[in-house]
Structures are given as structure tokens and as C-alpha cells.
Amino acid sequence: MEMNLKNLNVLVTGASSGIGKAIAEAMGHSGARIAVHYNHHKKSAENIARQIGNNSSAFGADLENPDHCEKLFNNVVKEFGHIDVLVNNAGAVIMSPLENDTWIHDWDKTMAINLRAVGILCRLAIQHFKSRKSGRIINIASRAAFRGDTPELLAYAASKAGIVALSKSIARGFGKNGITCFVLAPGWVRTNRIKKSIKKYGENYILQDIALDKLTEPKDVASIAAFLAGGLADHATGTTIDINAASYVH
């Protein structure tokens, strides 16, 4: 079943590549107008917005900077008029062994991008949605929020667990305002981010960690995000949907 997202304005962070790009394209294909957020890859974001159509646009922001988070949201509202759906997809994966001299810096940067920025954008979205008495938030976490991760990714796992708690709190606290909030928790997904792992260990190594016979693709996450954006699962607000091919089931 193809979702009908016509007349919806959607902000997708980290949408110039990977999962975010797939989410932006899936929602755009279903009729939504997309604010394609990017940090470094402006041309890619602009191309994606142009290909999506529906008067979509690209918006740049460094989410490590709190002021940029606020400017991003306000700039989208200024150009689009309003936002119906916020998708917090952007994230950082910084490998940092405990022995690293940069460990504290790496921790702070991970938290700034993965959790603080999500909190700021959720706060702005809630205030915006309350005035409209309607709005949906979709936060991209990770299986690491539940099963943990490697010693080099302590900050990453902790930040993603924070997203889950934040999302549940939003769902419980603002449902009466017409606001719903969902979490998607992917595992291994075939993006540029895991190419090094595939090159180093081979795809069979990753396949041994999952229950299916093929790697999860960005479109597998995007289709569920589009479904949630369409409003057919609002009574599942507060829930986490695992998209990890049963590599972790809880």
C-alpha cells in the first residue's frame, strides 16, 4: 500500500545520504514536501530536493551547534509555512577507545549531535505542533540503545538510548496536544557508513549477525518511516520499531 502524504511538510535531518536520503525520497514519492537537511553535502541535498519535487528544498546546518539547530527549524517554517512531521535521522558514529586522549571530546561531540540536537529540534517541534494541535516526530535510534555496542562506541550507544527515553517521554507527555512520537531502531544497514566494515570483514561476517539472508537496505527503514508519517499508526505512539533483521529482539 502506497502512503498518501500530500500536503505534508516534512523536515528530515541528515538527508543528503544513507537512511535519511531514503526517508526523504520515500516520503517525497508519496507526495510530501521535504526539507532536506545537510551539513557538508550541499550539492547532494539540492539534487535530492530537486528530484523529489513538490517544492522541496535543501537546508544546511551544523547540528553540533545549538544555534544552528534552532535556525534550521525556523528557516524551514519560514519557507514552508509550517512543519507536519519531524524526522531526526542525523547522527555521528565516532570510534573512540577508552585510551584515546580525545575520548571526552569524542563523547561530547557524539552527545551534541546524536542527542542534544534531537532534544532541541523536538522541543521546537513540540512548541510548533502544539499551536497546530497536530504533529508527528520520528526519531532514528539504533539497536545499540537496547543491546549496547562495542567498547569504542560507548557514547554512541548511550546517545541512542537517550533518544528512546526522550521519545517515550514526548509520547506520554504531549499526546493530548495531538503530538505523536515514534522510534525506529535499525541494526546493520547498507550505507556508506558500514562500507569499511564490509571491506574489512566481508559481507558474510555481517550476515552471520542477522537472521535474514540479506542485509537491511535504507529503503527498509524508509518505508516504515513513511507509514508512520501517514498517521495510520498514531496509537502506536511511544513505541520503538526494530529494523535489525532479528539481530537483536527484545
Q: Which tens digit of pLDDT belongs to each residue from 149-191?
A: 999 999 999 999 999 999 999 999 999 999 999 999 999 888 8
d(CA 140, CA 218): 12
pLDDT category of residue 124 using cuts at 50, 70 and 90: very high
Q: Phi then psi for 71, rounded to 5 degrees?
A: -65, -40
pLDDT at 237: 98
pTM listed for this prediction: 0.95
Residue 1: pLDDT over 70: no
Q: Which tens digit of pLDDT belongs to each residue from 211-223?
A: 898 889 999 999 9
With beta carbons less than 8 A apart as the criterion, state whether 12 and 23 touch. Answer: yes
Residue range 82-96: average pLDDT?
97
pLDDT at 104: 98
Residue 28: pLDDT over 80: yes
Q: What sections of 175-244 are H helices per DSSP?
A: 195-201, 203-207, 218-229
Q: Which tens digit of pLDDT belongs to each residue from 41-50?
A: 999 999 999 9
Residue range 5-26: average pLDDT?
97
Q: Which tens digit of pLDDT belongs to each residue from 189-237?
A: 888 777 776 777 777 877 888 889 888 999 999 999 999 999 999 999 9
- Three cell numbers, residue 101: 586522549
Catalytic residues: 156
pLDDT at 160: 98
Nearest to 53 by CA among 69, 37, 33: 33
- Three cell numbers, residue 13: 535531518
Return the domain boundaries, the chain: 9-190+217-243
Cβ neighbours of residue 69 closer than 8 Å, sequence gap 6 or more: 61, 63, 117, 120, 121, 124
CATH architecture of the domain formed by 9-190+217-243: 3-Layer(aba) Sandwich (3.40)
With beta carbons less than 8 A apart as the criterion, state whether 151 and 195 touch. Answer: no
